[in-house]
C-alpha cells in the first residue's frame, strides 16, 4: 500500500517535469527580455562589400564632375546643383500600411526629384509593395528593437542609395509608422533653399543630438561600465531620434565609419537602456561634424505617454486637421516634415484630409 501511494505521487511529478520545458517555452517570453540578435560575420562582410562599392562609386562620380570654382552668386550655385534628389529610406518590419498616403505625396512628382529604398525584414514575410514602392526593396537582413541590427539596416539603406544614384543629395530615414506632414514640393523647397547653405556651400543635416538627457549615463554604460572607452568618452556620447535627414557628406561619413561601429555593435547588458540606433548616429556626427548638423529632427514624435520605450501611438479618433497643424510645430525655426507613430487604421481618416490639410501648404 505504501508502494502504491509512492507510485501515485511519482506520476504527477514526472508529468510536471516533462511538461516544464513546454511551459517555459510559452511562458518565459512574457517575462524574460528577448534574446538579442547578433550580426553574423557573413552579414558583416556583405555590408562592408556594399559600403566599399558605394564609397568607390561616389569617389568615381566626384572625379568625373567638372571642377568649377566656387560660385560667386547663389544663382550660379543653383544651376550647378542640377536637380538634386531626396532618397526616402523606408525601414520596416511590417507592411507599408500608409503607402496610399505616400502615393499621394509622390504623385505629380517626377523621378528626377526622388528615389525610394526599402529595408524590409525578410523574417516577417512582407507582401511585395506595389505602385511607387514596387521593386524598391534592397537586400535586407533581420532587425530587432534594442539591437545594433537597426543601425546596420539604416547604414545598408544609405549605402544602397549612395551607390544607386549620384544625384541623391539628401537621405530621409522613414519608418512604416511615419506620415508626411507637408507636400513633397514643400519638403524639397525647404531642403534645397539656398538660404540654408553654410559659408562652405553645404546644406545641413537634420538629426536630433541631445547631451543633457537624464538617462545618458545608463545608456552610455548599457554594454558595461566604460566599455565605450577609449573611442567614445562620456562627454562625447549623445542620444537622439533615430529618424534623420542627412546630407550626402554625412551619409558617406556613416558608411565609412569602422571605429565607432566596433563599439556600438556590441550586445547590451541592460536592455532597458539599450537603443543603439538612438545613440550611434547622434554620437558619430556630433564627434565628426557638429557644426554641420542642426541638432533637430524633422520627424515629430510624441513621448508624453510612452510605454516600454515606445512613443504615443495615434488612433483614428485623434486624427484631425488640428492634430496635423500641431504636429508641424517645432522648437526650431522650421516646421516638422514627418510624424509618427500612427496605427494602421488611421489610414482612412488621414486620406480624408490629405488634399485639404496635409498636402495643402
Tens digit of each residue's pLDDT (9 = 90 or more) over 180-216: 999 999 999 999 999 999 998 999 999 999 999 999 9
Given this model, what pLDDT does residue 332 score? 82
Angle at which helices 280-288 and 149-164 cross, to 10°: 60
Residue 66's nearest CA partner among 85, 79, 51, 52 is 79
For the stretch 22-74, pLDDT in tens is 444 444 344 445 567 889 999 999 999 999 999 999 999 887 765 444 333 34
pTM listed for this prediction: 0.87
> Mean pLDDT, to the nearest integer, of 255-259?
98
Cα angle value 313/316/318 (rounded, 5°): 70
**For all residues of the chain together, what is the average pLDDT?**
88
Residue 72 confidence (pLDDT):
36
pLDDT attached to residue 8: 56
**pLDDT tens readout for residues 119-175:** 999 999 899 999 999 999 999 999 998 899 999 999 999 999 999 999 999 999 999
* Helix ranges, the chain (H): 2-31, 41-64, 74-81, 99-106, 149-164, 184-191, 216-220, 248-256, 261-264, 280-288, 321-328, 347-352
Name the pLDDT band for 304 (thresholds 50, 70, 90).
confident
- In the structure, what pLDDT confidence band is assigned to residue 309 with cuts at 50, 70 and 90? confident
Model pLDDT for residues 277-296, shown as the tens digit of each residue: 999 999 999 999 999 999 99
Q: Provide mean pLDDT across the span 209-224.
A: 96
Q: What is the model's pLDDT at position 115?
A: 98
Long-range contacts made by residues 219-226, C-beta under 8 angstroms, separation at least 24?
219/273, 219/274, 219/275, 219/279, 221/270, 221/273, 222/268, 222/269, 222/270, 222/273, 222/274, 223/263, 223/266, 223/267, 223/268, 223/269, 224/269
The residue-averaged pLDDT of 261-268 equals: 95
Higher pLDDT, 3 or 127: 127
The average pLDDT across 304-322 equals 90
Amino acid at each position: 500500500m505504501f508502494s502504491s501511494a509512492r507510485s501515485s505521487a511519482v506520476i504527477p511529478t514526472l508529468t510536471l517535469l516533462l511538461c516544464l520545458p513546454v511551459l517555459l517555452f510559452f511562458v518565459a517570453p512574457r517575462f524574460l527580455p528577448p534574446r538579442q540578435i547578433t550580426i553574423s560575420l557573413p552579414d558583416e562582410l556583405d555590408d562592408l562589400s556594399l559600403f566599399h562599392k558605394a564609397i568607390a562609386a561616389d569617389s568615381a562620380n566626384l572625379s568625373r564632375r567638372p571642377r568649377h570654382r566656387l560660385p560667386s552668386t547663389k544663382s550660379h550655385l543653383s544651376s550647378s546643383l542640377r536637380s538634386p534628389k531626396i532618397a526616402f529610406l523606408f525601414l520596416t518590419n511590417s507592411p507599408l500600411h500608409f503607402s496610399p498616403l505616400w502615393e499621394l505625396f509622390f504623385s505629380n512628382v517626377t523621378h528626377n526629384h526622388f528615389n525610394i529604398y526599402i529595408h524590409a525584414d525578410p523574417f516577417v514575410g512582407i507582401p511585395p509593395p506595389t505602385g511607387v514602392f514596387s521593386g524598391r526593396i534592397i537586400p535586407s537582413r533581420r532587425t530587432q528593437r534594442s539591437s545594433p541590427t537597426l543601425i546596420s539596416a539604416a547604414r545598408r539603406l544609405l549605402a544602397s542609395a549612395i551607390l544607386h544614384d549620384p544625384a541623391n543629395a539628401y537621405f530621409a530615414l522613414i519608418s512604416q509608422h511615419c506620415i508626411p506632414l507637408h507636400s513633397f514640393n514643400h519638403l524639397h523647397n525647404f531642403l534645397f533653399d539656398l538660404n540654408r547653405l553654410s559659408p562652405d556651400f553645404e546644406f545641413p543635416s537634420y538629426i536630433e543630438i541631445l547631451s543633457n538627457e537624464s538617462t545618458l549615463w545608463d545608456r552610455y554604460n548599457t554594454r558595461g561600465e566604460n566599455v565605450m572607452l577609449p573611442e567614445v568618452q562620456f562627454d562625447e556620447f549623445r542620444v537622439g531620434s533615430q529618424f534623420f535627414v542627412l546630407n550626402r557628406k554625412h551619409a558617406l561619413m556613416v558608411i565609412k565609419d569602422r571605429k565607432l561601429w566596433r563599439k556600438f555593435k556590441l550586445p547590451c547588458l541592460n536592455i532597458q537602456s539599450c537603443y543603439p540606433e538612438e545613440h550611434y548616429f547622434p554620437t558619430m556626427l556630433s564627434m565628426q561634424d557638429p557644426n554641420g548638423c542642426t541638432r533637430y529632427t524633422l520627424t515629430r514624435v510624441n513621448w508624453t505617454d510612452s510605454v516600454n520605450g515606445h512613443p504615443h501611438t495615434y488612433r483614428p479618433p485623434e486624427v484631425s486637421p488640428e492634430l496635423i497643424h500641431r504636429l508641424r510645430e517645432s522648437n526650431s525655426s522650421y516646421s516638422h516634415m514627418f510624424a509618427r507613430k500612427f496605427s494602421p487604421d488611421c489610414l482612412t481618416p488621414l486620406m480624408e484630409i490629405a488634399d485639404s490639410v496635409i498636402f495643402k501648404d
